Structure 1
């Protein structure tokens, strides 16, 4: 009898240990997104080999995304500043290594667009060479599944080349649903072609079913260096642009202010939407920023059909400011010139 009790005790201890291990250490197919932090852009950017020693700072902000255990999911559910994201939704089926590479492609494009816009706005000679689009993912229903892979570069469609990804997208979306299409692409240094069909995408438009981002290179006599290391993603584009422009054209634009913001930067200077605006403005406020630039583009009608309560990045940031009573000025922008104009207008205030 005593042996049975001893055996049951041992089994219960082992079982409890296993359950605790699963609850605290075993990752589930979910991620937890929460406020991350803010970093002075001078820590990752050097322009023309000169040190930016003017008072104040430009800061890029970021969210923290971690694989979730059962305990972390429970804590996130109780935290109004955290969101739970299914792995499939976040990574689109990519494994950790692929997801990291995708983030690096986004960062590369963000840096190149920021260089190009910063140089243009500062009236410096520059050009942007477009090589095609990096393939970030291929949808399950795409006829190019198992043909195109992450890091391949699509350089042509039906023999046509393009100057930007929007041009490519516009052309492909205008093709007839179900029609034949030929894609030219680079894979491991080899020039290849593949044939497939035009399909209906989730957004209701026609396409070939790939996620993409520009593969570009900036030409200029001005030396601009980024040292972003493992930081990935496109959302620092606006702030990178402001930092480059300021050093090249208007060193006193910051006027001693701690400025943060988020938003991608596009070839025409427009500021694109990002994720986690509510968390990023919180990170900015905690870092002592007095100004936070947020994209304020109209919500896509197709998104509104699926999610009627969808908000702009600016509206998301403002909700967080009101909810947490943050003392930070949120400034809505749709292009980088609006951010520059605001900083000029509010100097000395």
Structure 2
């Protein structure tokens, strides 16, 4: 009986020895697939490239045929797998962030919608600034307020969504978000309130109640910001696709200004840069500037505009580490960028 038992063990051992490489190969393949495809709760951020604005912007239906280019730069984000984490650890100018750090409290869908809103806002502000600086007639018209968040205790939770536009309250319309906030805060706590809004291009209406906000004032419990549109005799069209965020505002402004004015500020140069553009023409700081410097350098840019402050310091450091001779230029306003291009060949 013992001999039979030993014989079975030997047979099993031989079978196992015969197929161990096959089993090891299957196991390794499964682990490799998991490393490449299974998402982890992180994002990897890296240089995302530089893009000629002439390819995404049309002014008065005319082709921009002047030599040189204005380029906006991007940071690429990918949901991390183990393989991406290894790549990020081994690659300079590549960072790892948590999902919460990247998208905040927003869902992935809402995060994309918010970034699309910021892109639209930066485009409108860029048009307004460029035409104003060029002496053109232009106005920025109030359309309502964008919904940026809805508090958990709001009676409009699940009704109003991120990037919906509130156009009125109790059939009252307003000329700014400040007016809307003042109107709502004067309503009685717990009173019924009806909100007029657009969502996905459709006009809608919803009824809820006035609640007490965290600041002690009365309201409906939404985070909001002005939704505006530009009116001008000049026709300026963007087609940026899925690219989002506000950081191309400065470069959009420069490109539009160059096309609607009588100047040629590019002078055949490849000019890159980053920074938000505000209503008063100031340039605001952005994230990921080290990666944007790398993107610009790879594109062959000779000038890179960086917002004053920490952005400028980080851009100079990144340029030195990457080893580029690209000129890093500090700007606080779009006028400073125009003056630099005008006075430097």
Q: How high is the TM-score relative to the length of structure 1?
A: 0.80
Matched, 1:215 2:227: yes
- CA distance 1:44–1:199, shift in 2 (3 Å): same
Residue 29 of structure 1, aligned match among 41, 46, 70 = 41
- CA distance 1:157–1:191, shift in 2 (3 Å): closer
Distance in 2, Cα, partners of 1:141 & 1:285: 48
- Which stretch of structure 1 is more off in the superposition, 238-247 or 140-149? 140-149
Count of residue correspondences = 324
Residue 198 of structure 1, aligned match among 213, 223, 231 = 213
- CA distance 1:87–1:138, shift in 2 (3 Å): farther
Structure 2 counterpart of 1:315: 313
Deviations 1:108-135 (A, max 9, x none): 1111111111111111111111223322
Structure 1 counterpart of 2:144: 132
Q: How high is the TM-score relative to the length of structure 2?
A: 0.81
2:196, 2:203 within 8 Å by CA — same for their partners in 1?
no
Deviation at 1:45, TM superposition (A): 0.9
Structure 2: which 5+ runs fail to align?
Answer: 1-11
Deviation at 1:12, TM superposition (A): 3.9
1:109, 1:213 within 8 Å by CA — same for their partners in 2?
no
- Which stretch of structure 1 is more off in the superposition, 180-189 or 142-151? 180-189
Please state whether the residue corresponding to 1:199 is helix, strand or coil: coil
- CA distance 1:31–1:143, shift in 2 (3 Å): farther
Structure 1 counterpart of 2:7: none
- CA distance 1:224–1:96, shift in 2 (3 Å): same
- CA distance 1:28–1:137, shift in 2 (3 Å): farther
Please state whether the residue corresponding to 2:110 is helix, strand or coil: helix
Structure 1: which 5+ runs fail to align?
Answer: 201-205, 298-311
Aligned runs of 1:184-333 on 2, under 5 Å?
184=195, 186=197, 187=199, 188-192=202-206, 194-195=208-209, 196-199=211-214, 212-296=224-308, 312-333=310-331
Deviation at 1:105, TM superposition (A): 1.7
Tell me the C-alpha RMSD between the 2 structures. 3.2
Aligned runs of 1:75-86 on 2, under 5 Å?
75-86=87-98
2:276, 2:284 within 8 Å by CA — same for their partners in 1?
yes
Residue 162 of structure 2, aligned match among 144, 150, 156 = 150
Deviation at 1:141, TM superposition (A): 7.6
